Structures are given as structure tokens and as C-alpha cells.
Amino acid sequence: MTPVLKHELRAHFHTLSTWLFMAFLLAFVGIGAMLYNIQAAVANFEYVLQFVCIGLVVIIPVLTMRVFAEEKKQKTDQLLYALPLRTSGIVLGKYLALLVIFLIPTAIIAVYPLVFSKYGDVFLLTSYGSMLAFFIMGAALISVGLFISTLTENQGFAAGIAIVVFLLNYYSVRLSEYVSKGAVGSVIALSVLLLALTALIYILTKSSNLAIGVLCVGAVLLAAVWRFNRGLFENLLPTIMSKLSFFDRFYVFVNGVFDIGSIVFYLTVIVFFLFLSVQSLEKRRYN
Amino acid sequence: MIKVEHLKKYYGDFLAVNDLSFEIGEGAVYGFLGPNGAGKSTTMNIITGCLSPTEGKVTVSGYDILEEPIRAKRMIGYLPEHPPLYQQETPVEYLRFVGQAKGLRGEKLEKAIESVIELTGIQSVSGRLISALSKGYQQRVGIAQALLGDPEVIILDEPTVGLDPIQIIEIRDLIKKLGENHTVIFSSHILSEVQTICEKVLIIAKGELIAFDTPENLEKIEQEKCAVHLTVLGGPEETVQALSEFFGEESGRYSIDDSASEEPSDTTKVRIQTDGGDTKALCRDLFFHFAAKNLALTEMTTERASLEKIFVELTEQSAEREVEKK
């Protein structure tokens, strides 16, 4: 893991997209701080972080797109497979390198509230609490971007898919108001999700038995709940959509609540997508 | 050292490697020979753990490549078909990463890097970006990477491709030298290359092992497949007459080559199959026989069997054996 981490960090500093990521993140925070803290004279730095969220949707894919796609394109993934390294170590090393890159601008951002506190009363606790949540949310987004990068050898494609996924997630709460609240709508949506999950499992594992198994279990569960407790489906889809929103969970921190549940959610997402990335890389060996 | 048992690999429906089994001992140079698409790279990728077999097992020094990959991979240095180079790094930076990944640290690492740079002769370019290097130097950096850490087994997939003739000779010498205290496996589709530096040759075609032999034995097969071409100044009738006198009952040995019959000519072309004996003696006897018949030979060439012909021959043999088994 350590050799990959060191190597990846050095590679990041030789890559334009990494510098762009840091520059844009700092620029967004600077603009936010000017608008909220200086012009509007609000003493809450967390609003600036909320303002930056939409920026993350674009700049995190720019950071993560090359991580595995580039290896595949340059055929250096073969070197990683041939070296005495564990796949999990490779993924973890690359992920930690990304976190270090994300930490650098975050450390600079961390100076803002201190500077502002010289000139007025800044709520440092909520500022830094939100900043921690902001970092962990970013880490979760990075893990998703990392996974998408393992799926293709085309960096642009990796970035494009990640931006679409993040945008859907960003607007999922607003979209959830328009989706069907009824039981039938939820069942249909869940069925589609189930099919998508089956397809994903099949693509990742190439095991048709496993995919069909998951499909059958899911279908039986759906049918059973439909038969015995139809009420459970009421309003289910909008609830799921807003629960899965990374950004909606972050706004709770902005409003001054340090929600441990959401931290656990972010960490779970990170573990899940790192696991998927390892599987995706392992699967390439079976091609 | 390396044991391959009943290896099978499917790409979708395509069978790339079919029931391949062989065992490779210690400290020798092994040549891995096969035409394009024979499954050489696939087999090498499986041995090094870059690819998973559909069926079968590979062990390196007793360590299963799938069950104890880290231990097995520590024994192997591998140069894939496309040298896996990070273009935006210098060879030294690149080798430092590979060395660290192979578990080398500190002074030991620096020394190892220095020694492989010297071995592969890339001192002059070690500070330049890999993307700016020529194909030959890139190939050498790839070889340096495989040699780093002094692994017991060195596997090189077509290491001489893209090199100029002098570099090819240098790399061949290097491989010979490495073979003194390492097990070296390298693949090639050039028969002469394999013959000059290998102690044992594995030939695979269509994913199957069709020969595992010393180069000397392969040469015998090669000689049997030789042919002598004659151009006789004279008509076909006289030529056939002379040939039938020369060969007696073995009339299947010669054939009249009439592919060039469009142009009116006073010459006849003949192709004579050798029987594995001394080709030079055959040529001499033919020469004097035709001279005695008052027929002039305007051209006499010997055709060495190409690798493709040997493949065809060996695959036909293995196909016949299959049929016999059934």
C-alpha cells in the first residue's frame, strides 16, 4: 500500500487535473467567503461550504477520473497485477493519495474561520464541525469517482459518468418531490433498481448464477411485501431518494447539528465503493 | 520451479489456451515459441498472476499463484508484451516505485536500481522522461524493471521486439548471462533467436503445447522439412528422366514446379524434398548427376524450413495423435 500511496502522490503533483482540482476548490471557497462572510457579513463559515457543494459535483470527477482509467490506457495496470501487491492495497493506496490531495486545500480552507474570528464572532464549533463533515462527504464522493474510474480506460468517460451520477444525487431531494408517492410507483421503481443491481453484479462478477439468484431473492421479497404489507411501499421511493442524498445530509451539519448517523452513512459508502473497486479490478483479471 | 498443470483459458467462447501442462526447472534459459495468437502472452500472463485461468493451476516454487500470490510474485520479474511504463516519470523514479513495491528499501533499493540500470545500459537516459525515450530504450527500462530485486524467475514477453540489431544482440547476451543463475523464460516468434540462446524450447500453437525439446532436436525436425530447388536448362521430359534415374523408387521426393509456365522458357524448375540426411551431399550428388546427363543447372538453392512450416508439421502431428487416440 505505501509504495502505491507514495507513487500516486508524486504522480498527482505531475498532473494538471490535480492542480485544477485544488485551484478550483480554493477559488469556489474564496468566492463563497467573499459573498457570504464579507459582503453579506454573515458570521457562519458553514454557508460557504454549502455554496461550494455544487462545485464538488464537477471538480471531484476531474480529480478521480484518471486514477485507474489512465493505468489501463497506458497498460501499467499489468505492472500492478504482476508486482507483489494486494489489489486491496492498490485501491487503498490510491484512495489515500486522493484524500491527501483533498486534505491540502481543506487545510488552507481551515484558516478562513480563524482569520474571520479576528474581526468578529465566528461560530468556530459549527464551522469546524461542518468542515469535518464536508471533508468526509468529499471522501465519500471521491470513493464513488474512484470506482467509476475502474470501469473504463477513457478518462473523459469516467469524468462524465461521475458528474451525471453526482448531479442526480445532488438533485435527488428535489427530484423526489416529483416521483410517485404511491405504492405502485415505488414497486416499479424498486423493480428497475433491482434489475440495475442484477446487471451490475453480472458485469462485475460475470456469474450469471449469482445475478439470477439476487434477482430472484429481490423479486420474492418485493412480492412478499406487496402481498402482506402494502403500506410499506407508500412514500417509499421519495424517502429512499432523500436518504441517499450526500448533499442533503450535509445541510444538516450546516444547520448546526453534528449528525453521527450521516457520518456513519458516508463511511459506509466509502467502504462499499472501495470494495466494489477492488472487485472491479479483480474482475479485469478474469476477462 | 514453475509447474503449470492443465491450464485452460477462455476469452468468452474463444479458447486461447487448451490444457497446457509443463514443468520448468531451475537455472536455465527457456524459449517460448509460437506464431502470433498462439497463446504465448496469455500463458505468460497467467503464470505471472496478471490473468486468471479458467481452469488449471500454476505454482511457482511451490506457491500457488492464486492462493499465495504475494509470495509467488516475489519470485518473478515480468516484462509484459507492452512494457508497462509510466510515461511521465524518469526511469529512476519508475524503478524506485517498482523496487519499493517489490519490498526493497533504503540503501538496498538504490543499489538494486544502480545495478539494473548498468545491466540494461540505460545510464545515459536515466534522468529523462520515459515518454521522451526511443522504443528500444523504453524496452530496456521495461527489462530493468523485471530484473529489479534479483527475482529467481525472469519472464520476458518478446523482449527483442522494436530493438535495433545491435541492441538485439546485447539483450540476447544479457538473457544468456541471466540464465547462468536465474530461470529465464522468454517468448519469441523468431526460431533462430530461440535456438541460439535457449537450453530448452517450448513450442505452442493454438493454445496447445506441441513440443518441449532441446533446440538440437528441433533442428532435426527442421532439417527433415528442408527442400532443394533446382533450375535445369532443359525440357521437362529430360529432367524427369534424369530425376527418376537419380532417385529410383523414391519418386515422391521430387516435383516439377510449373507455376512459372506462362513465360516460354527452356528451363524446368524442380523441388526436391530432403530426407533429413546431409543436404550438402545431396546437392553435390545432384550436381554431378545432372552434369553427367549433360543437363546444366543454372540455379540451385536450399530452402530451410520456416518456423511456420515446423508449426504446421508439429500441429499436424499432434492432430494425428489425437485422431489415433480416439
Tell me the pLDDT tens digit for each residue of A216-240. Answer: 998 898 888 888 877 777 777 788 8
**Does residue A285 sit at the B interface (CB-CB below 8 Å)?**
yes
pLDDT of residue A275: 92
Partners of B209 in the beta sheet? B204
The secondary structure of chain B in percent helix, strand, coil, rounded to multiples of 5, reads 40, 25, 30
The per-residue pLDDT for A159 is: 93
Query: Strand, helix or coil at B23?
Result: strand
Contact residues, chain A, for B51 at CB < 8 Å: 81, 285, 287
Mean pLDDT over each residue of chain A, to the nearest integer:
89
Average pLDDT score over residue span B149-170: 86
Mean per-residue pLDDT, B75-87? 91
Each residue of B164-196: pLDDT tens digit? 888 888 888 888 888 888 899 988 877 777 878
Question: A93: nearest CA in chain B?
Answer: B101
pLDDT of residue A176: 82
Chain A contact set for B73 (CB, 8 A): 82-84
**Interchain proximity B86–A85, CB inside 8 Å:** no
CA distance B65 to B59: 6
Amino acid at B22: F
| Identity at B312, one-letter amino acid code | V
Whether the pLDDT of residue B222 is over 70: the answer is: no
Q: How do residues A231-265 score in pLDDT, each as one tens digit?
A: 777 777 788 888 888 999 999 998 888 899 999 99
Please write the tens of the pLDDT for every residue from B86-130.
998 999 999 999 999 998 888 999 999 999 999 888 889 988 999
Whether B80 sits inside 8 A of A11 (CB atoms) is no
With a cut of 70, say whether residue B223 has pLDDT above it: no
Q: DSSP assignment, residue B306?
A: P
Q: How far is A29 from chain B (nearest CA, A)?
A: 31
- Nearest chain B residue to A8 by CA distance is B97
Q: Is B84 close to A3, i.e. CB distance below 8 A?
A: no
User: Whole-number mean pLDDT of chain B?
Assistant: 83
Q: According to the model, what pLDDT value does residue A69 have? A: 92
Range scoring the smallest mean pLDDT among A133-147, A171-185, B303-317: B303-317
Q: Would you say residue A164 has pLDDT above 60?
A: yes
Q: What is the CA radius of gyration of chain A?
A: 21
- The residue of A73, A79, A279, A285 whose CB has the most chain B CBs within 10 angstroms, and thus the best one to mutate to test that interface, is A79
Asked if A85's CB is within 8 angstroms of B101's CB, the reply is yes
Please say whether the dihedral angle defined by the alpha carbons of residues A281, A287, B1 and B4, taken in this order, is positive or negative.
Answer: positive
SS3 state of residue A87: helix
Look at B100 and A76 and tell me if their CB atoms are within 8 Å.
no
Residue B64 corresponds to which cell in the numbers above? 500457488
Interface of B with A (CB under 8 A): 11, 45, 48-52, 69-71, 73-74, 76, 78, 80, 82, 84-89, 93, 97-98, 100-103, 145
Query: How confident is residue B319, by pLDDT bands cut at 50, 70 and 90?
Result: low
What is the DSSP-derived secondary structure letter of residue B270?
E
Q: Does residue A287 carry a pLDDT above 70?
A: no
CB A261, CB A211: distance < 8 Å? no
pLDDT for res A273: 93
Under an 8 A CB cutoff, do A11 and B88 touch?
yes
- Classified as helix, coil or strand, A182 is coil
pLDDT band per the 50, 70, 90 thresholds, residue B259: low
Beta strand B29-33 with B200-205: parallel, antiparallel or unpaired?
parallel
- Sequence-distant (6+) residues with CB within 8 A of A188 are A180
Give the SS3 label for residue A196: helix
pLDDT of amino acid B325? 61
* Contact of B193 with B171, CB cutoff 8 Å: no
- Give the chain B residue whose CA is nearest to the CA of A76: B84
Do B70 and A287 count as a contact with CB atoms less than 8 A apart? no
Q: Which three cell numbers stand for residue B135?
A: 522504443
Q: State what percent of residues in chain B have pLDDT above 70.
A: 88
- pLDDT at position A235, please? 78
Q: What is the DSSP string of A134-171?
A: HHHHHHHHHHHHHHHHHT-S-HHHHHHHHHHHHHHHHT
Sign of CA dihedral B99, B105, B106, B107: negative
Pure H helices in chain B: 40-47, 69-74, 91-101, 106-120, 135-147, 165-178, 191-197, 215-224, 236-247, 279-292, 307-325
First to last CA, chain B: 34
Q: What pLDDT, on a 0 to 100 scale, did the predictor assign at position B92? A: 92
Q: What value does the mean pLDDT take over residues B133-140?
A: 87
Q: Nearest 5°: phi and psi at A258?
A: -90, 100
CA distance B9 to B54: 5
Task: Extract the C-alpha cell encoding A45.
Answer: 463559515
Helix (H) or strand (E) holding B4: strand B2-11
Q: Using the beta-carbon criterion (under 8 Å), do A76 and B52 form an inter-chain contact?
A: no
Q: How confident is the model at residue B224 (pLDDT cuts 50, 70, 90)?
A: low
Residue A174 pLDDT greater than 60, yes or no = yes
Instruction: Say whether pLDDT at A35 is over 80.
Output: yes
- Shortest distance, CA B27 to any CA of chain A (angstroms): 21
Count the Cβ atoms, other than its own, within 10 Å of residue B326: 5
Q: A31-45, A136-150, B46-60, B158-172: which has the highest mean pLDDT?
A: A136-150
Q: How far apart are CA B59 and CA A268, in angstroms?
A: 37
- In A110-123, which ranges are continuous DSSP H helix? 111-117
Stretch B69-80: mean pLDDT, rounded? 90
For position B326, what pLDDT does the model report?
A: 60
For A262-273, give the DSSP string: HHHHHHHHHHHH
